[in-house]
Structure 1
Amino acid sequence: MKKKSMLALLTLLLIAGTVLAACGSVKKTASSGKSGEVAPAAEQVFRINFSSEPPTLDPGIAQDNAAITVLHAMYEGLTNVDSSGKSIPGVAETWDISQDGKTYTFHLRKDAKWSNGDPVTANDFVFAWDRALKPDLASPYAYQLYYVKNAQAYNEGKITDASQVGVKAVDDYTLEVQLENATPYFLNLTSFVTYFPVHKSVKDNEKWAADPSTMIVNGPFKLTNWTKGASLELVPNENYWDKKDIKLTKIQISIVNSGATELASYRSGQLDFAGKPVGEIPADQIDAVKKELPSELSIKGVATTYYYLFNVTAKPFDNVKIRRALTMAIDRQKLVSQVTKGGELPAFGFVPPGIIGEKQEFRTEHKDTDLLSENVDQAKQLLAEGLKEEGLTAFPKVTLTYNTGENHKKIAQAITDMWKTNLGIDVTLENQEWGVFLENRRNLNYQIARAGWGADYNDPMSFLDIFTSTSGNNDTGFKNAEYDSLVKQAYASNDAKTRMDAMNKAEQILIKDNNVIMPIYYYSNTALIKPYVKGVIIDYAGNIFFDRAYIEK
């Protein structure tokens, strides 16, 4: 597909959202060479594989896709988001917004309950937000609460009185939130995991989020079993206020980091869903799957970016010329057409297509090719200059780290081969288990590392604020006062042009001026789903929601 056509399709999909559903069901046998589809059982069981295990199921510290996917089934925030990205009622039935856009008053439903039968109250939200902001929790997403008045000062220890933070329980079922500035997308934020309520029982048990018996939740499902490294099992929460609309009786999640095994399990009928965003279909199998299972395969563009991080505090990547040389010396189009093969688009910026701008998409108004280009000759020159500045006569020993996954490995191999061919340098590859990988990234215990980021809400800020000096998700060591100032300016303004201009300048500092990250491609979601599975939603950012799914009999 031509790039122009792909972008047009991507835009349409991101606006409308994607509901993965298919009609009809034909029973096939595994020996036929086709999908091992089996007739749906009488019970409503949905089976899916995760390629990595959630490091935690604590909404206050979760930051990875696996954990966030499970948490969306187990918890519910003040609002939910429908497939088009629109905010709809969650625990809050209604809300009022002040004329200046700075005060939100949420009116909570009185039938919302925790899985142990306790009522969900406004105080549960106050407790959860306060907990996420406390410095000792070290929540990587604490900055997502900085929109709330005095939240940043409280998180940074500049004020210690929690009552000064702009969140207050007026009564059990009324929550008042005061913001630092009018924020057009604040309602969207209240459906994000860091904004979820947390039951007060957790304050007496540091290990509550690792044991199903101590996880008191308020969402559609609850966790009944977690066999570490192997599986998770969810069943309906009988105390969920909207339990009448929950049709699945069980969600079975296997944990296998082999895409080949996942695809084989789908073909044999052991899985109902395979592929992204939580699993993986091997890139070298996509062409075969397109021919074998065309009606079950979905390839959709999503607002997510695949990139590499540079540890700018570690030599030789404290030198911007060396970072830029490696970034310019790869062929992104060759990578997506010959290696990933899933409809991805070459990325030259951080904010992906599909994210709104002032009047059109941000990426349409601010071309990513203005930030970065591919040029092997210039890359060679920059590398030589950078090494000379560092007092080096040859490129030092360097390691590229990625989390375990067949496609991550293939991408890393292809990129290091390009570096070898185009720059004459050798880079060692190292794969790490997901939890270890995240921890090493957080602690800057790496040189180059794989990363991916999807939109938490539809605004460029969802991407750009992660590289501020105070962000818990900034795993690069990059600190830039002008960058922080531009992000703060965009936070503070309610004028679309002012905001987008500020964020455009911030992205220029991130990539064009400092080359902190190496953009590689804009994601697509490549997934297989059985025709009898209905109601699984992949949103514009590539997040998967299966809490309202069901098996068509």
Structure 2
Amino acid sequence: MNKWLLGISTAVLFFSLSVGCSSKPADNLQSPPAETTAKPTTSEPMVLQWSITGEPSTMDAGIATDSTSMDMINLTFEGLTSVDRQGQMINAIAESYTHTPDFTHFTFTIRKDAKWSNGDPVTAHDFEYAIKRNLDPKTASGYAYQLFYIKGGEDFYSGKGKQEDVGVKAKDDYTLDFTLRSPTPFFRELTSFTTYYPLHKKTIESNPQWAAEAKTIVGNGPFVMDTWEHKSKLTFSKSPTYWDTANVKLDQIHIVIIEDNNTALSMFENGDLDWGGYPSFGLSPDAVGQIKEEGKLLVADNPGTKAVIFNTEKPPFTNKKIRQAFSYSINRQQLVDNILQTGVPPAYGWVPVSMGLNPDGYFKEDVAKAKQLLAEGMKELGLTQFPKVTYYYDTGETDKKLAQALQGEWKKTLGVDIDIRTAEWKVFNEDVQNGKYDFGIWLWGADFNDPINFLEMYKDLGGNNVVRFDNKEYRDLLNKSYYETDEQKRKQLMFDAEKILMEEMPLAPLHFRGNAYVKNDKVKDFVIFPLGGSYFKYAYIEK
């Protein structure tokens, strides 16, 4: 789903070539000054009432792969870069940065007023420690591949290199140096992702379970976690040690865990929650339709793709033709019109069209061809009757309705009976990550705004390659793209890779991302990250 995912706004992509320079910190974007709008004077603390749909799997920034955990981590941790109130990328723990003209070497200067929640200074060593720890295969970081842009990172992760050869070095307490494996113009954007966040070494080494309880979490973000009643609620308060505390107006954030989205919407309508819909919780199709009729529906246009994923290691989905048959028989526009109702486009490729690889897509629906492919695939597997398979989805009314619609459509077009089942997000996510499923639903939101982010997860087994896709030609194309400095040639390599992905069809794209919500006007300066997710730092409640 996964992710959440943090990143840059479309205003600063594609490679943010307008910022940085070869040898001086010119054009470095600094954090904005404190707003002139003063927090209302009141004896009562300013409290934001929020909800999430499931338990965070972890508060460890190096391990988290799901959006719920990342939203909570962004309350309590901060990286080298972040965003301002308009979603524009700015420096955060980094005070400034420089890069070489070929984008193979970046140097960040750490601000001297950055503190951990226990009062310790945040230093360049904390970043170096975290990145090398996340690359250690023993850490089992699902996002370790996001660090492979660093020279020696992939070699260390795969056991072919040494930790000391990884190209991230703390030259002193406040100078962090990166040497990259190839030109990476978008590297600064990567540093806003959680896998690049600093970690408090003493905390981690003294307690392996540090990220599971509020009292043991030492962060460096705008808030600290006060309580964590598992599967019930979490509370946060403004951090007294945060370097930019002048821009933090909320005194507290109270977050309840509500699995049923309709219950959460009722609480919002009753004034018990301060936000309705994404990124707090999902709106049901019925709710979307009603809010749309009232003219209040808003849709966050965050790049991402929802797809049916196939476990390619489990028959019958080991067979490419059967996967294609299930994909070609789906009427995507009907799903968008009748269930989603948000106007998002159907998807005929994995990479969002906003990233510019192939706006026309790679395939179209074709029921006759789907029936032929199913028959051919079953013959290749020696099957005379289609086996029992189960479609898996996490709780949520939209995904439930999608599951039911797909179940009916596959029965009608292919003549196959499938079972459907659901589980709460944490269980569902763990099952999918561990290959304990036949096929089901999956959403990927961009971590940074480049096509490689949607393609490289399927380059190697492990990490976020939940479909277990393994293709040498695909892998070779992406490996070449890392070293290609001509942008058009690089784009062609990624186009060719996506074409293979859509031919092999380990996943069947359904629609591109569009997140529905209804805005409560009293909540001000809450930021939905340009690539998706919650950012509470600037938020306040207007009385």
What TM-score comes out, normalization by structure 2 length? 0.90
Task: Check conservation: 1:535, 1:550, Cα contact below 8 A.
Answer: yes
Aligned to 1:32: none
Asked if residue 532 in structure 1 is aligned to residue 522 in structure 2, the reply is yes
> How many Å separate the matches in 2 of 1:140 and 1:287?
36
Aligned to 1:100: 102
Asked if residue 521 in structure 1 is aligned to residue 522 in structure 2, the reply is no
Show CA shifts across 1:344-365 (max 9, x none): 211111111322xxxxxx15xx
Which 10-residue stretch deviates more, 418-427 or 338-347? 338-347
Tell me how far 1:495 sits from its aligned partner: 2.0
> How many Å separate the matches in 1 of 2:487 and 2:92?
28
Aligned to 2:134: 132
Tell me how far 1:427 sits from its aligned partner: 0.7
Tell me how far 1:291 sits from its aligned partner: 3.6
Aligned to 1:190: 191
Task: Check conservation: 1:398, 1:427, Cα contact below 8 A.
Answer: yes
Asked if residue 177 in structure 1 is aligned to residue 186 in structure 2, the reply is no
| Equivalent position amino acid for 1:509 in 2 | I
The residue matched to 1:261 in structure 2 has which SS? helix
Task: Check conservation: 2:259, 2:424, Cα contact below 8 A.
Answer: no
Aligned to 1:265: 267
> How many Å separate the matches in 1 of 2:422 and 2:267?
24
Tell me how far 1:428 sits from its aligned partner: 0.3
After TM superposition, list the pairs within 5 Å mapping 1:453-532 onto structure 2.
453-511=444-502, 513-532=503-522
What TM-score comes out, normalization by structure 1 length? 0.89
Task: Check conservation: 2:86, 2:527, Cα contact below 8 A.
Answer: no
> How many Å separate the matches in 1 of 2:86 and 2:448?
12
> How many Å separate the matches in 1 of 2:472 and 2:293?
52
Task: Check conservation: 1:283, 1:342, Cα contact below 8 A.
Answer: no
After TM superposition, list the pairs within 5 Å mapping 1:50-129 onto structure 2.
50-82=52-84, 86-129=88-131
Aligned to 1:165: 166
Aligned to 1:407: 398
Which of 383, 403, 408 aligns to 2:374? It is: 383
Which of 218, 232, 239 aligns to 2:220? It is: 218
> How many Å separate the matches in 2 of 1:143 and 1:86?
25
The residue matched to 1:345 in structure 2 has which SS? coil
The residue matched to 1:71 in structure 2 has which SS? helix
After TM superposition, list the pairs within 5 Å mapping 1:281-296 onto structure 2.
281-292=283-294, 294-295=295-296
Task: Check conservation: 1:14, 1:302, Cα contact below 8 A.
Answer: no
After TM superposition, list the pairs within 5 Å mapping 1:12-51 onto structure 2.
14-15=10-11, 42-51=44-53
> How many Å separate the matches in 2 of 1:460 and 1:308?
19
Task: Check conservation: 1:85, 1:540, Cα contact below 8 A.
Answer: yes
> How many Å separate the matches in 1 of 2:372 and 2:85?
48
> How many Å separate the matches in 1 of 2:480 and 2:45?
53
Tell me how far 1:42 sits from its aligned partner: 4.7
> How many Å separate the matches in 1 of 2:462 and 2:183?
21
Identity of counterpart residues, as a percentage? Answer: 41
Task: Check conservation: 2:80, 2:197, Cα contact below 8 A.
Answer: yes
Task: Check conservation: 1:15, 1:84, Cα contact below 8 A.
Answer: no
| Equivalent position amino acid for 2:165 in 1 | Q
> How many Å separate the matches in 2 of 1:393 and 1:229?
46
> How many Å separate the matches in 1 of 2:45 and 2:343?
36
Task: Check conservation: 1:14, 1:301, Cα contact below 8 A.
Answer: no
Task: Check conservation: 1:63, 1:140, Cα contact below 8 A.
Answer: yes
| Equivalent position amino acid for 2:178 in 1 | V
Show CA shifts across 1:158-205 (max 9, x none): 123x22110111110011110001101100000100000000121121
Task: Check conservation: 2:52, 2:258, Cα contact below 8 A.
Answer: yes
| Equivalent position amino acid for 1:490 in 2 | S
Show CA shifts across 1:278-325 (max 9, x none): 411111121212344x34x31232201111111111100011000000
The residue matched to 2:64 in structure 1 has which SS? coil
Tell me how far 1:471 sits from its aligned partner: 4.8
Q: 1:83 to 1:186 in 2, by over 3 A?
A: farther
| Gap runs ≥5 in structure 2 | 1-8, 14-41
| Equivalent position amino acid for 2:282 in 1 | E
Task: Check conservation: 2:461, 2:469, Cα contact below 8 A.
Answer: no
Task: Check conservation: 1:16, 1:83, Cα contact below 8 A.
Answer: no
> How many Å separate the matches in 2 of 1:376 and 1:124?
55
> How many Å separate the matches in 2 of 1:245 and 1:46?
16
> How many Å separate the matches in 2 of 1:537 and 1:551?
13
| Equivalent position amino acid for 1:338 in 2 | N
Task: Provide the aligned C-alpha RMSD in A.
Answer: 1.7
| Equivalent position amino acid for 1:123 in 2 | H
The residue matched to 1:302 in structure 2 has which SS? coil
Tell me how far 1:14 sits from its aligned partner: 5.0
Task: Check conservation: 2:106, 2:177, Cα contact below 8 A.
Answer: yes
Task: Check conservation: 2:344, 2:511, Cα contact below 8 A.
Answer: yes
| Gap runs ≥5 in structure 1 | 1-12, 18-39, 356-361
> How many Å separate the matches in 1 of 2:529 and 2:10?
7
Q: 1:16 to 1:340 in 2, by over 3 A?
A: farther
Tell me how far 1:541 sits from its aligned partner: 1.9
